[in-house]
Amino acid sequence: MCPEQVLATHRRIQRAICTRFEELCSALLPTLDLTLGPTHHDTCGNDNTGTDKGANAGGPGASGRPHGGNAGDKGAGLVILFRRGHKDAWCDNLEQLSGGQRTLVSNTFACLCTR
C-alpha cells in the first residue's frame, strides 16, 4: 500500500469514528452537542481550525462542527469537543461536564475505539 492510500484509509476511518461518536452521543446526551475535533483546537472558544464543509473541510459549513484538520498527517489526532448550544463555542475541557456526562462520553469513545 502506498503512503497516499494509507492516509486516505486513515481519514476514512477517522470520519467514520467521528460520525458514529456524534450519533451515539446525541442519543445519550441530547442536551449537548459533541464531536471529535483536531488536537490543535484551542480550548473553549478560540476555534482556529475552521469548521466542517463536508468534502471540502476548511471553512465554515452548515454543521458548524470543527473539521479534522490534517487527519492523515503524522502525529495528527483527535480531541473530544462539546458545546451546550448551537451558538456556544466549542470546548475541550471535559471538567465542565458532570461526572455522569463525562462517564457516558468516555465510555462511548472507548467502545468506538475497540470496534
What cell does 12 get?
Answer: 476514512
pLDDT band at 66 (very low <50, low <70, confident <90, very high): low
Q: 33 versus 88: which is more confidently predicted?
A: 33
> For the segment 18-46, what is each residue's pLDDT rounded down to a tens digit?
999 999 999 999 999 999 887 764 556 54
pLDDT band at 61 (very low <50, low <70, confident <90, very high): very low
What cell does 35 get?
Answer: 464531536
Calpha distance 39→41 (Å, rounded): 5
Residue partners of 23: CB distance under 8 A and separation at least 6: none
DSSP state of 63: T
